[in-house]
Amino acid sequence: MSSANEGFVLQTAPHAHGPMSVPRIMHAVNLSLIPVVVMSALFFGARVLMLYAVGIAACLGTEVIIKSIRGQSWRSILDGSALVTALLFVMVLPPSISPLLVAIGGVVSIAIGKEVFGGIGQNVFNPALVGRAFLSAAYPVAMTSWTPAREVFSFVPTGRTLATVDSVTGATPLAASRFEGIAEYYLRLFVGQTAGSIGSTSALVIMIGGIALIAMKIVRWQMVVSFLGTIAALTGIFWLIDPTTYADPLYHLLSGGVMFAAFYMISDMVTTPFTTKGTVIFGVGAGLLTVIIRLFGGFPEGVMFAILLMNAVTPIINRMNNRVYGASA
Amino acid sequence: MATTRIRGGVHPRYYKGLSADLPIERAGLPKRLEIPLSQHLGLPANPVVSKGDLVQPGDLIAEAPKLISANVHSPVAGKVRGIVQKPLPGGRMCDYVEIQVDEEATEAHEWQPQEVEIDTITPEALAKLFRDAGIVGMGGATFPTDVKFSPPPNVTLDVFILNAAECEPYLTCDNRIMIEHTKEVLRGIELAHAALRFDRVIIGVEKNKPEAIKALRKAIDEFVSPVAPPFELHELDVLYPQGAEKVLIQTTTGRTVPAGKLPFDVGAIAANVQTMFALYEAAYLGKPLVDRVVTVSGAGIPQPRNVRAAIGTPVTALAEMCGGIQETTTKVVAGGPMTGTALPSLDYSVTKGFSGLLFFTNAEYPDESPCIHCGSCVDVCPMRLMPLKLAAYAKAEKFEEAKATNLMDCFECGSCAWACPSNIKIVSWIKYAKNSVRVKGI
């Protein structure tokens, strides 16, 4: 048989490969964000769709340009990771932000957040949060102007408003409960019909996508639980000590960017630890820093800085070695 | 029977249905056999025949020089054409004895049933049986069995485990042996038990082999023995690498083999189905290890089969027996898809560890992309290693760091590379690092 001398592919084992690939992971994240996109358009108007488009164009365009300059293939944008960055970046901006700032921040996210380190897999900080941190520092006013959500769902008897409890530093739910039922208020927070960042107000839709990602083993539940658990436990302690000064844990979990961060920011694989143990350390650390900044810091919201700080220590966490199977105690 | 689960492992697609129900067929005798003298771990055997010698089936053609090595025998009657150097699967060069097959004389030969004094067999006699017959671990590791069954004097072996997991995709040869030669496999185990007197004799089979499990259960019920091996049939979860020795010992006995130690150290010994079948044939038929069952399968072959082939049978002969290799074949693998060795051509022959001959037609082999630190490799590693770190150290040639990160505890099951979304050839990097550690004496 002539084929006896034909060259077959020579590779070391394994010769079989599982279903997972980087594009598949990234596109799963993108698909899971569709409910968030829809909900944000309902709450903050079709204008946010334009903001998503600007963010996507800025992020993908920046990656194409940088790859071209470095003589690499622009096709890296097809792996879906720049799209993830774009969506996450826009979702953590205030709804009233101008398209120009979205574009600037998108460029920063990809250029400084990702490509400067060498592209996918190499970056230390969450690119979307790098973009947001840049805008927060450069355009503080635009980044803290909040617009109330539209009344898409009617929870409250007519005439009542929630203007007083729109931001984290505003009145606590206890104050709000003087005007309306507290259960209604939390329902409002849970659904996300409240002022906040474009995509981070609705715990409901965030959890739909997030739980799907957990089921697909793209997001580690240990990370989510350790982060949310730490926030709940710490704020719970303060609340029990002095409920008139400190908001209760449920409020802390549902307000601001906590739920969005739990499922979509601290779950970024590249910038967080790769072991389950490391993941829990990251979750607890990010939760702790979030609470410290929220309760004692100068910023109303602490999630972004908490995560960026934990991103910085992730390489150190990753230096820890697993205890291998059969290792002596 | 309750089993404990290990951490890690993967669920590849199994493709066992291609051949699981196909009875073992005898391969036709090729005109010529090419028998490598290094089919086992350890030293190559020294040839004891030379060009022009006439051999009979079962004749010794190469002798194990000392520990650790294994004898090699002729499967056929014929004439030695000479000794040539050729690569083994994997690339290492090796002496091959070429035998011109005398088909008539081979067909006329019959193995003679032997009297076996079961209750008086000593551990030494058992080791001699293994050694004389050239038996090695036939699951793929090919460790000489006489050494394995001769524990150091301070060690007591109280558990025997028949490794019948057959956790590699595609492979069904052990499955067929268990179905068609159930009693013989048990007789082989009985012999080992008679010599070493285990407290527990465990048979560990993955649940995806219901017919084998049924056959084993029936044979165990009907088994009559003067030494009464205390058989326990364990149905194991379908999980790769369930059949890795340390994993199997953990799941069936709950014992953890310490890192860097051997199954001996927890009083356990595990052996593959075909190894124990070979022991049976050696003891009861006086037949050394001269053939084995090979699963020929994969999309690149029209008729998958379980073939009983003489050691030294050319791969081309097996391919022809199964309908000939398809033109779409891009890769040929000796062994299973998770740990097998890719062959650059069909110019190879069946060896004692040759469990499968697989023909793959995958058009593309995806390129590596950068590691995204997802940790999948860490999650699936049954040894709880950090494969991504080992691969990164290997790429950076930081072999000392790799060794300090438990490089040598990896047994190369391939779960990490299977799971890696970036298609990083983690096992290749680990092999490279291990080899560098050995060569540089780190």
Asked if A309 and A282 count as a contact pair (C-beta separation under 8 A), the reply is no
Same domain (yes/no): A99, A169: no
Average pLDDT, chain A: 88
Q: What is the pLDDT of residues B277-301, one digit of tens each?
A: 999 999 999 999 999 999 999 999 9
User: Cβ separation of B372 and A22 shorter than 8 Å?
Assistant: yes
- The residue ranking higher by pLDDT, A104 or B327, is A104
B370–A7 CB contact, under 8 Å: no
Q: Which residue in B405, B415, B411 sits closest to B431, CA to CA?
A: B411
Query: CB A14 to CB B414 under 8 A?
Result: yes
**How many domains does chain A fold into?**
2
CA distance A20 to A30: 15
Q: Pick the closest to residue B9 from B270, B377, B263, B425 (CA basis).
A: B377
Q: Residue B274: which pLDDT band, with cuts at 50, 70 and 90?
A: very high
In the prediction, which pLDDT does A180 show? 53
The Cα of B415 is separated from the nearest Cα of chain A by a number of Å equal to 8
**Do B229 and B202 meet the contact criterion of CB atoms below 8 Å apart?**
no
* CA angle (B161 as vertex; B155, B163 as ends), nearest 5: 130
Measured torsion, CA atoms of residues A165, A171, A173, A179, in degrees rounded to the nearest 10: -70
The larger pLDDT score, comparing residue B38 to residue B367, is at B38
Residue A5 confidence (pLDDT) above 80: no
Angle between helices A47-69 and A81-91 (to 10 degrees): 140
Residue type, A130: V
- On average, the pLDDT of chain B sits at 94
Contacts of A10 in chain B (CB under 8 A): 342, 344
Amino acid (1-letter code) at residue A3: S
Confidence of residue B3 (pLDDT cuts 50, 70, 90): low
Cβ contacts of B239 on chain A, cutoff 8 Å: none
Give residue B363's pLDDT band: very low, low, confident or very high (50, 70, 90): low
Q: What is the pLDDT of residue B6?
A: 79
- Give the pair of three-digit tokens for residue B266: 């927890």
Please indicate, yes or no, if residue A10 is contained in any of the structural domains: no
- The DSSP call for residue B144 is B
Asked whether residue A6 is assigned to any structural domain, the reply reads: no
The residue among A10, A11, A12 with the most chain B CBs within 10 A of its CB, best to mutate, is A12
The string of pLDDT tens digits covering residues A103-128 is 999 999 999 999 999 999 999 999 99
Q: B-chain residues within 8 Å CB-CB of A275?
A: 375, 378, 386
What is the ipTM, given to two decimal places? 0.89
- Rounded average pLDDT over A77-98: 96
Q: What percent of chain A has pLDDT over 70?
A: 89
Contacts with B346 from chain A: Cβ below 8 Å: 1, 3-4, 6
| Residues sharing a CB contact under 8 Å with residue A30, sequence separation 6 or more, in sequence order | A80, A83, A84, A87
Across the interface, whether the CB atoms of A326 and B261 are under 8 A apart is answered yes
Q: Which CATH architecture has domain B1-17+111-365?
A: 3-Layer(aba) Sandwich (3.40)
Q: Which chain B residue shows the shortest CA-CA distance from A79? A: B369
B333/A15 touch (CB, cutoff 8 Å), yes or no: yes
Q: Which helix (H) or strand (E) holds A303?
A: helix A303-319
Please report which helix (H) or strand (E) contains residue B79, including its range: strand B78-87
Chain A: residue whose CA lies nearest to B90: A12
> Are A9 and B331 inside 8 Å of each other by CB?
yes
A1, A5, A6, A8: best to mutate for the B interface, most B CBs within 10 A: A8
Share above pLDDT 90 across residues of chain B, in percent, rounded to a whole number: 90
The answer on pLDDT for B362 being more than 90 is no
Q: Which residue of A has its CA nearest to B11?
A: A18
Which residue among A9, A276, A321 places its CB closest to the CB of B365?
A9
Region of poorest pLDDT, from A81-85, A164-168, B33-37, B126-130: A164-168
Residue A18 lies in a domain: no
Mean pLDDT of B312-331: 94
- Is 90 exceeded by the pLDDT of residue B442? no
Chain A partners within 8 Å of B169 (Cβ): 16
Across the interface, whether the CB atoms of A18 and B365 are under 8 A apart is answered no
- In a shared domain, residues A229 and A138: no
Per-residue pLDDT, A303: 93
pLDDT digits (tens, 9 = 90+) for A159-203: 344 444 444 444 444 444 444 566 777 888 898 888 889 999 999
End of a domain among A97, A117, A144? Answer: A144
Q: Collect all residues of chain A within an 8 Å Cβ-Cβ radius of residue B333.
A: 13, 15
* Cβ-Cβ contacts under 8 Å for A71 (sequence gap 6 or more): none
Q: What is the predicted pLDDT for the residue at A327?
A: 86
* CA-based nearest residue to B229, from B190, B285, B182: B190
Of B324, B333, B372, the CB nearest to A121: B372
Same domain, A231 and A177: yes
Q: Are A4 and B374 within 8 A, CB to CB?
A: no
Please report which confidence band the pLDDT of residue B14 belongs to, taking 50, 70 and 90 as the band edges.
very high
pLDDT of residue A164: 41
Please name the residue of chain B whose CA is at the shortest distance from the CA of residue A328. Answer: B258
User: pTM of the predicted model, to two decimals?
Assistant: 0.91
CB contact under 8 A, B421 and A16: no
**Per-residue pLDDT at A155:** 64
Contact A305, A266 (CB under 8 A): no
CA–CA separation, B265 vs B433, rounded Å?
A: 27
Residues B154-170 have pLDDT tens digits of: 888 999 999 999 999 99
Would you state the structure tokens that stand for residue B170, as one six-digit string?
């595609």
- Residues of chain A neighbouring B345 (CB-CB closer than 8 A): 4-8
For chains A and B, CB pairs below 8 A equal 171
Q: Which positions in chain B touch A25 (Cβ < 8 Å)? A: 372, 374, 421
Å between B293 CA and nearest CA of chain A = 21
- The predicted-structure confidence for A210-265, as pLDDT tens digits, reads as follows 999 999 999 999 999 999 999 999 999 999 999 888 888 999 999 889 999 999 99
**Which residue on chain B is closest to A323 by alpha carbon?**
B384
Integer Cα distance of A220 and A305 in angstroms:
21
Contacting residues of B for A119, CB less than 8 Å apart: 370
How many Å apart are CA B242 and CA B338, to the nearest integer? Answer: 12
Which of B259, B324, B373 is nearest residue A270 as measured by Cβ atoms? B373
Which residue among A5, A9, A13 sits closest to B427, beta carbon to beta carbon? Answer: A13
* Among B169, B195, B340, B207, residue whose Cα is nearest residue B276: B195
pLDDT at residue number B4:
66
Contacts of A145 (CB under 8 A, 6+ apart): A94, A96
Smallest CA–CA distance, residue A121 to chain B, in Å, is: 4
How confident is the model at residue A329, as a pLDDT?
A: 60
Provide the 10 A C-beta neighbour count for residue A65: 15
**Cβ atoms of B346 and A242 closer than 8 Å:** no
Across the interface, whether the CB atoms of B414 and A3 are under 8 A apart is answered: no
The answer to whether the Cβ–Cβ distance between A8 and B383 falls below 8 Å is no
Q: What is the pLDDT of residue B215?
A: 97
Nearest-CA distance A66 → chain B (Å): 17
Q: Give B406's contacts in chain A (Cβ within 8 Å).
A: 321, 324, 327
- Indicate the domain borders of chain B: 1-17+111-365, 376-440
Question: What number is the average pLDDT over the span A303-329?
Answer: 91
The pLDDT value recorded for residue A255 is 87
Over residues B320-337, the mean pLDDT reads 93
A187 in a structural domain? yes
Q: How far is CA B71 from CA B33, B64, B81, B146, B291, in A?
A: 17, 5, 19, 11, 14
| Contacts A269 to B, Cβ<8 Å | 372-375
**List of chain A residues whose C-beta atoms are within 8 Å of the C-beta of residue B141:** none
Are B412 and A321 inside 8 Å of each other by CB?
Answer: no
Statement to judge: residues A31 and A103 lie in one domain? yes
Q: What's the confidence (pLDDT) of residue B97?
A: 97
pLDDT band at A158 (very low <50, low <70, confident <90, very high): very low
Beta-bridge partner residues of B331: B360
Q: Are residues A174 and A305 in the same domain?
A: yes
Contact: A121, B338; criterion CB under 8 Å: no
Alpha-carbon gap, residue A62 to B181, rounded angstroms: 66
Domain boundaries, position A98: 23-144
Give the containing element (helix H, strand E) for B93: strand B93-101
Torsion of CA B339, A325, B408, A11, to 10 degrees: 20
Reported confidence tier of residue B377, pLDDT bands at 50, 70, 90: very high
Which chain B positions have a beta carbon within 8 Å of A270's beta carbon? Answer: 372-373
Element (H, E) at B281: helix B273-285
Give B-chain residues touching A274 at CB under 8 angstroms. Answer: 373-375, 378, 386, 388
Residues A233 and A289 in one domain: yes
